[in-house]
Amino acid sequence: MPVFPFTEADPIRHPGPPPKTSAVVIVGGGIIGVTTALFLASRNIPVTLLEKGRVAAEQSSRNWGWIRKQGRDADELPIVIEAIRLWRQLAEESGEDIGLTQTGVTYLANADKDMAGFEAFMKIAATHDLDTRLLDADETAKLISGMSRRFKGAMTTPSDMRAEPWLAVPALARLAVRKGARIIENCAARTLDIAAGRIKGVWTEAGYIETSTVLVAGGVWSSLFLARHGVSIPQLSVRVTVAATEPLPEIYAGAAADDHIAFRRRQDCGYTLAGGGSHLLYLGPDAFRHAIKYIPALRNDPFGARYFPFAPSGYPDGWSTPRDWAPDSTSPFERMRVLNPAPEPVRLRAIERNFKQLFPQFEKARLKVGWGGMIDAMPDVVPVMDRVRAVGGLFVATGMSGHGFGIGPGIGRVVSDMIQGNDIGHDLSRFRLQRFYDGSPVRLGPAL
């Protein structure tokens, strides 16, 4: 069984070489790229997925493992509902235990304003016949045992699920390969070959692939890759710290969060823990270039982000990270096969302290492991899923803003049909790239 977090020292499980031609090439081996490849292969469309390091080695395995409808943006919700169905289907098809369990998601209210936010989402939930409901203080205490304090109430969706990301995404990659997809690890896409405004191929570190269609689903690396070709996306990367406890008695089988602590029961009987909304933003060239687009988010949550003046060497928005390179030269993606940020010690201490304050019966519990991750964020906390108008045959699916794991199979199905020119079945106007450049006001997704 692989050791988590994945690194470039892990064995290559999907070796090359890449093919000479492919109908579709996908850049990025996270949940979005993998599931898109899976659905294309299911339609017998030749598809090659290029992963610079290891499948799911970055945020797709480092997230909290929540699969939730609760608290979603109203335009995301129909896709999430589809994703829930697809998670069940794909878990069965994979034949592997990925920890997929329906155990619910609960948000805890510290104050009346929290309850007001929950009530606003209840109107959205009602239009989609969700089983979401509000709880009072007594019902909340009964739902999650052993809490040291009473909450004003809670919002809970019993049909929401959880899974182990570091098991799930590699399992879906293996399923995609069995359906006919080509996945090549340790093979960075360097540049696109564009002629007369259309995709002609992709230059990789292992040679050239002739193709007419490319999907960029590179997570925090998407903006850097596309900017090399004159395509601007106001995407930033923010660093988060997460931890896992040793096995503990069950206090709640699902996932829950308040302003200070988020916790999720794991398959190994421990809990995955994270802070309640604090993240670290490295200030690089892209952060300054796109700063004006993030003003609404900063006004809405002025204390949610902490800032550091420069990113470590080689990070996507690092001051010294190259912005231009030739197809026959080493790219930034080869220099950093796996973006593996260390967890912040001060954040780990705060996570442990807040969890034990809420559950004093676990005072002697220990954190088994901590890790860092980088989230691809957008100014409105809503993804981009679109074709790039300026380049024929170029598509992008990025900026999942910390929501990508749960919605992943839904987006994979949607993008695969977008690429094929099929009826998508959802209104995607909310997710178009041009919303940031056509004068549309930034409409923030829910801060839930």
Domain ranges of the chain: 24-104+159-436, 105-158
Distance between CA 413 and CA 425 in Å, rounded? 10
In this predicted structure, the answer to whether residue 294 has a pLDDT above a threshold of 50 is yes
- Give the integer Cα–Cα distance in Å for 38 and 36: 5
Cα 85 from Cα 244, distance rounded (Å): 28
CATH entry, 24-104+159-436, from 1.10.3720.10, 2.40.50.100, 3.50.50.60, 1.25.40.10: 3.50.50.60
Q: Average per-residue pLDDT in the chain?
A: 95
Q: Residue 426 — very low, low, confident or very high, per pLDDT cuts 50/70/90? A: very high
Tell me the pLDDT tens digit for each residue of 203-231: 999 999 999 999 999 999 999 999 999 99
> Which residues lie below 8 Å from residue 127, measured CB to CB, with a gap of 6+?
none
d(CA 168, CA 185): 17
For 106-141, how does the pLDDT look when each residue is reduced to its tens digit (9 = 90+)?
Answer: 999 999 999 999 999 999 999 999 999 999 999 999
The one-letter code for the residue type at 12 is I
DSSP character at residue 180: T
Distance CA 249, CA 361 (A): 10
With a cut of 70, say whether residue 278 has pLDDT above it.
no
Bridge partners (DSSP) listed for residue 239: 280, 374
Whole-angstrom Cα distance, residue 380 to residue 105? 23
Which pLDDT value is given to residue 134? 98
DSSP-derived secondary structure for 339-355: --PPPPHHHHHHHHHHH
Instruction: Give the phi and the psi of residue 282 in degrees, each rounded to 5.
Output: -85, 130
233 vs 221: CA distance, rounded Å: 11
Taking 90 as the threshold, does the pLDDT of residue 178 lie above it? yes
| Ramachandran angles phi, psi of 281, nearest 5° | -110, 125
Q: How far from chain centre, in Å, is Cα 229?
A: 24
Q: Specify whether the CB–CB gap between 155 and 118 falls below 8 A.
A: yes
Rounded Cα–Cα distance for residues 108 and 148 (Å): 13
List phi, psi (to 5°) of 235. -105, 135
> Rg for the chain (alpha carbons), in Å?
21
User: In the predicted model, is pLDDT for residue 1 greater than 50?
Assistant: no
- Cβ proximity of 199 and 394 under 8 Å: yes
In angstroms, rounded to a whole number, what is the distance separating the alpha carbons of residues 121 and 68?
Answer: 13
84: pLDDT strictly greater than 70: yes
pLDDT in tens, 373-405: 999 999 999 999 999 999 999 999 999 999 999
Percentage of the chain modeled with pLDDT above 90: 89
Write down the pTM of the prediction: 0.97
Q: How far apart are the C-alpha atoms of 340 and 150, rounded to whole Å?
A: 38
Find the mean pLDDT for residues 340-350.
Answer: 94
303 pLDDT tier (thresholds 50, 70, 90):
very low
Query: E strands, 276-425, where?
Result: 279-282, 305-308, 367-377, 384-387, 394-398
Decide if 288 contacts 236 (C-beta within 8 A). Answer: no
Residues in the chain: 448
Q: Is the pLDDT of residue 33 over 60?
A: yes
Per-residue model confidence as pLDDT tens digits over 314-337: 999 999 999 999 999 999 999 999
The most distant pair of C-alpha atoms in the chain lies apart, rounded to whole Å, by 66
